[in-house]
Amino acid sequence: MSVKKRVYSYTGDNGEPRTRTVWRARVWTYPPHGPRREVEEEFSTRAQADAWERKQRDSARGRNLDLERTRLSDSGLWERAEPVLRRRLAPRTFSYYRDGWNARVIKTFGATKVGDISVGEVERAQAEWARTGSVHTARQARFALSAVLGVAVRDGLLSANPARSARSARSARSARSATSSNAEKRHRQERKVGMTLTPAQLASLVEAVRALPNGEPYAVMVDLMGSAGLRYGETAALQVGDVDLTRGILSVTHSVSEMTKDDADLAAGYSREGNLVWGPPKGGKSRLVPIPRHLVDPLSELLAKQPRSAQVFRSERTGYVIRGNVLKSKVKVSKGDGTAIQGWTAFVAWLGFAGLRVHDLRATAATNMLAAGVPPHVVRDILGHEDIKVTNGYARSHDDAFTRAVESLAAYSQRGGE
């Protein structure tokens, strides 16, 4: 910003040379893309120019007036933030942010000027996203907006990030109704944990998968996830060299997931192979997991005569990674009435475990470990959680635990009455 004196020369009506003195105040703004832009005004006195320049300086302190007056859809902020976010976030997390930005943020705020996006506007938008979708999708959309505006703040283009200051849909709803929030929290936690199986139920599921044509490797996968708590991507990424049968230890160092093919850069530590993305386990840390004893022999058969770089679980068709949709579509059972059951959802429902998801096998492992008396901090390390609260959130009592509690109480009451 600057104020300068300028003298213009011109010829008067009588033909004599004359001069006119003005004071020019100038402000520079810096858009996300392209060169800086200039806004200026001329005044007849220095005092007027100084007052205008001072007002612009006060209102624009730490802000970019040009950007704030631009609609979000035209601001170029996503294009500016995208390469930063790609390198900073896990590919799956980045895809959630991108989907949230395109499906919700732009539809809601696309025509809004960047400077008009307030904390209140973000909270109201998030409440609407949660109403029409879910708390999870609303949160991902807010995270996307916050991440993009955060990059702009760090680049000095904006002075504040309203999305970061906005309360989550959960806390905003809690302020209005603690009862409904607690009910929603319980529902969300139950959905996260889903169904958990007792050891006997897990064994029956494993045997049902093993009975399928060429079902042995799939049965071992299911058993490993349900007994050792590996995520599906970690199980699919296991290589022969990661399995130490002598020590009874698995080295969980990689994870693999399927994503839409994309030539853009990935975060450090990730690599792409077609639509497969390889990277570290969730949380970015490797860990050691004990091999359940009953899985030593089945794993030994799968590892026999295989090089250390080979996948432990190999697809029948490709001899490579068993993708998630293959496991889910592999299950097919012919019923006695001539009809067939195909697909994971129908298969587990037929076995009496309706609603069981593949990821619920991980919660099954956590619950059974804790029920067996394994210390919570050890279960936390086996599952690869940073916070023991996450571990506790994965576990819940089996239905038969309540039955045992009632029986124990009845026995205790009977003793007390003698």
pLDDT, position 393: 74
CB neighbours (10 Å) of residue 310?
Answer: 15
Q: How confident is the model at residue 380 (pLDDT cuts 50, 70, 90)?
A: very high
Is the torsion defined by CA of 66, 68, 69, 70 positive or negative?
positive
Length of the chain, in residues: 418
The helix (H) or strand (E) run that includes residue 340 is strand 340-342
pLDDT, position 144: 92
The helix/strand/coil state of 398 is coil
Which of 169-173, 237-241, 310-314 is the least confident region? 169-173
List alpha helices for 344-398, DSSP H.
344-350, 360-371, 376-383, 388-394
CA separation (Å) from 394 to 85, 144, 203, 271, 356?
29, 26, 20, 30, 14
pLDDT over 60 at 189, yes or no: no
| DSSP state for residue 155 in the 8-state scheme | T
* Digit-coded pLDDT (tens) for 317-341: 777 777 777 777 777 777 767 677 8
Average pLDDT, stretch 339-363?
A: 88
Q: Where are the domains of the chain?
A: 2-61, 72-192, 199-400
Which of 52-61, 96-105, 266-275, 346-355 is the least confident region? 52-61
Q: Read off the pTM.
A: 0.66
Phi-psi region of 283 (alpha: psi -120 to 50; beta: other; left: phi over 0): left
Q: What are phi and psi of 349, to 5 degrees?
A: -65, -40
CATH number of 72-192: 1.25.40, 3.30.160, 1.10.3470, 1.10.150? 1.10.150
Listing DSSP states for 29-87 in one string gives E--SSSS-EEEEEEESSHHHHHHHHHHHHHHTTT--HHHHTSBGGGS-HHHHHHHHHHH
pLDDT, position 10: 81
pLDDT, position 223: 95
* Digit-coded pLDDT (tens) for 5-50: 888 888 888 888 888 898 888 876 555 445 556 778 888 899 998 8
Distance CA 131, CA 406 (A): 40
* Digit-coded pLDDT (tens) for 45-72: 999 988 887 777 666 555 565 677 788 9
296 vs 174, residue with greater confidence: 296
CATH number of 199-400: 1.10.443.10, 1.10.4030.10, 3.30.9.90, 3.40.50.150? 1.10.443.10
Which of 221-235, 282-296, 389-403 is the least confident region? 389-403
pLDDT, position 415: 54
pLDDT, position 362: 92
Longest pairwise C-alpha distance within the chain:
127
Closest by CA to 64, choosing from 108, 34, 92, 44, is 34
* Digit-coded pLDDT (tens) for 394-409: 666 655 555 566 666 6
Distance CA 282, CA 269 (A): 12
* Digit-coded pLDDT (tens) for 85-127: 888 888 888 888 999 999 999 999 999 988 889 999 999 999 9
Average pLDDT, stretch 150-163?
A: 83
Q: How confident is the model at residue 188 (pLDDT cuts 50, 70, 90)?
A: very low
pLDDT, position 16: 86
Phi-psi region of 162 (alpha: psi -120 to 50; beta: other; left: phi over 0): alpha
Q: How confident is the model at residue 299 (pLDDT cuts 50, 70, 90)?
A: very high
Distant-in-sequence, close-in-space partners of 280: CB < 8 Å, separation ≥ 6: 253, 254, 255, 269, 286
List alpha helices for 101-215, DSSP H.
106-109, 119-132, 135-154, 162-165, 169-176, 178-193, 199-210
180 vs 93, residue with greater confidence: 93
CA separation (Å) from 357 to 96, 382, 384?
20, 21, 20
pLDDT, position 33: 47
Tokens (6 digits) for 95: 């895809």
CA 158 distance to own-chain centroid: 25
Owner of token pair 């058969």: 301
pLDDT, position 76: 87
pLDDT, position 156: 76
pLDDT, position 172: 46
CA separation (Å) from 386 to 188, 250, 283?
20, 19, 8
* Digit-coded pLDDT (tens) for 312-322: 998 877 777 77
- Contact present, 216 and 224 (Cβ < 8 Å): no
Q: How confident is the model at residue 153 (pLDDT cuts 50, 70, 90)?
A: confident
Average pLDDT, the chain: 81
pLDDT, position 9: 86
